Structure 1
Amino acid sequence: MKKILKIILLLAIGIFVVGCAGSGNISNIVESKLYKIKYISQNGETIIAPLNENVATLGFENDRIYGNAGCNRYFAGISWRDSNSIDISQAGSTKMMCSDDEANNFEYKYLKNLDGNFIITNNGNEILLSKENFIIALDINTQDKNTINDMDEEENIEE
């Protein structure tokens, strides 16, 4: 009888652990990470992040986000509504002129739509932040601050 109880207890613990792991708590995945932005989509129009001297990034740290919008650095406050939803507010950025129209267009649309409530999902290939008519797609493979910094340094060395 004790063996049966132990087996049932172990099965219950296993089911609980698997259930929690699959619950999709995005806040634990993104916290203290810096991601490369792959693209944004506004009203169905997809705009690929520019491939220029500045990698477009989005980082999460405590109660803020930060990164590079393709030309200028930006920051904003965040508050977690629940484990898969954030409010982004009070966004600000530096005000340098971008070197090309593609970077200007991407940065303008990205920063213009950054405030608001975003649902965050992980589809296995990318992390999506989405709100009505606007999506930010993050490259799930570049989630380490050092990796992105190394990419920037390698690109500068190659030039």
Structure 2
Amino acid sequence: MKTKITILTIIALTIMSCSGGKKSNTESSDSNKGNTSEIVNTKWIITTLEGKDISNREQNGQIIYFTLNSDGNRVNGYSGCNTFMGTYKLEDGNRISFSQMASTRMICPDAKINESEILNIFNTADNFTLRNGELSLNIAKRAPLATFKKAEMNNDQIVEKYWKLKTLDGKDVSMAENQEREIYFTLKSGDNSVVGFAGCNALNGKYTLEKGNRIRFSGMLTTLKACPDVNVNEAEFLKVFELADNYTIKDDVLSLNVGRRAPLAIFEAVYMQ
């Protein structure tokens, strides 16, 4: 009888142990899924690199950051002078891997950081940790390659809108009869890019938004189309993006400003039907 009771006890303990193990694995898996959902579609700003604090450093008016976009598992970011892009893969156990990053080839002699060190984070990292809103990209169980903080700003008023130019340097702007389309720009939230039209040529570049309605534009480029018959001064319009350091919005009217002076340019939001 004692032998039977002992056997039954062992069986019961074995079942409970297996059940507990399964629960633990499930909880771990759920935890990993939670972490995965928290790191995608979020802008992550670098705070430390190889243990060195760089949280207060801005490179050429831009903050070094990256975003994991769930649409297509794409990576977009800014490394101090150039933008970079690639793809990523997330796996159980907080595993992460990145493709080789492609980068633009701008030369920034005044840049104060070695961009190859930033790109090497993504070439090397194989796992991540997320604690108290801080993201670490790591290799194996070593000290973090880099840490990042979540960008927390409400930019809904200015991003993803079609901003049509109304006045430039205090003068009303009207569209020339032979102008291809109206002058405008849009800030894309997914990769912090600027797209638009300057009167003859398409334009694109990058932007950074900061607290206090601060804004910075960088790498503004245009196509090289010649429009000798179109009466528009594109250089004057592009100068706005070079000088602007803050903005104001009221009733769908946007002003790009420098300091506390009169607006460099005023735009109105146009909503497509």
Name the TM-score, length of structure 1 as normaliser. Answer: 0.69
Distance 2:148 2:214 in 1: 21
Are residues 145 and 102 of structure 1, via their aligned partners in 2, closer, same or farther at CA, if it must alter by over 3 Å?
Answer: farther
Q: Are residues 1:96 and 2:156 paired?
A: no
Residue type at the aligned position of 2:58: L
Q: Are residues 1:60 and 2:68 paired?
A: yes
Residues 10-56 of structure 1 show CA distances to partners (whole Å, capped at 9, x for unaligned) of xxxxxxxxx68x82532110111111111211xxx526264131110
Shift of 1:88: 0.5
Partner of 2:39: 30
Q: Are residues 1:82 and 2:142 paired?
A: no
Q: Are residues 1:51 and 2:110 paired?
A: no
- Structure 1 unmatched runs, 5+: 1-18
Distance 1:144 1:92 in 2: 28
Query: Which structure is higher in RCO with an 8 Å CA cutoff and minimum separation 6?
Result: 1
8 Å contact from structure 1 (residues 31, 60) kept in 2: yes
- 1:112 match: secondary structure: helix
8 Å contact from structure 2 (residues 138, 145) kept in 1: yes
After the TM superposition, which parts of structure 1 deviate over 4 Å for at least 4 consecutive aligned residues?
A: none
Structure with the bigger percentage of helix: 1
Paired-residue identity, %: 19
Q: Which moved more, 1:145-154 or 1:55-64?
A: 145-154
Which of 139, 154, 159 is matched with 2:214 structurally? 154
Residues 37-84 of structure 1 show CA distances to partners (whole Å, capped at 9, x for unaligned) of 11211xxx5262641311101101121211111111001211112251
- Structure 2 unmatched runs, 5+: 1-26, 157-191, 193-207, 217-244, 247-257, 259-273
Aligned length: 137
8 Å contact from structure 2 (residues 126, 138) kept in 1: yes
Are residues 145 and 58 of structure 1, via their aligned partners in 2, closer, same or farther at CA, if it must alter by over 3 Å?
Answer: farther
Residue type at the aligned position of 1:39: T
Distance 1:136 1:145 in 2: 25
Name the TM-score, length of structure 2 as normaliser. Answer: 0.42
RMSD across aligned C-alpha pairs, in angstroms? 3.3
Distance 1:30 1:151 in 2: 21
Tell me which structure has the larger Cα radius of gyration. Answer: 2
Residue type at the aligned position of 2:38: I
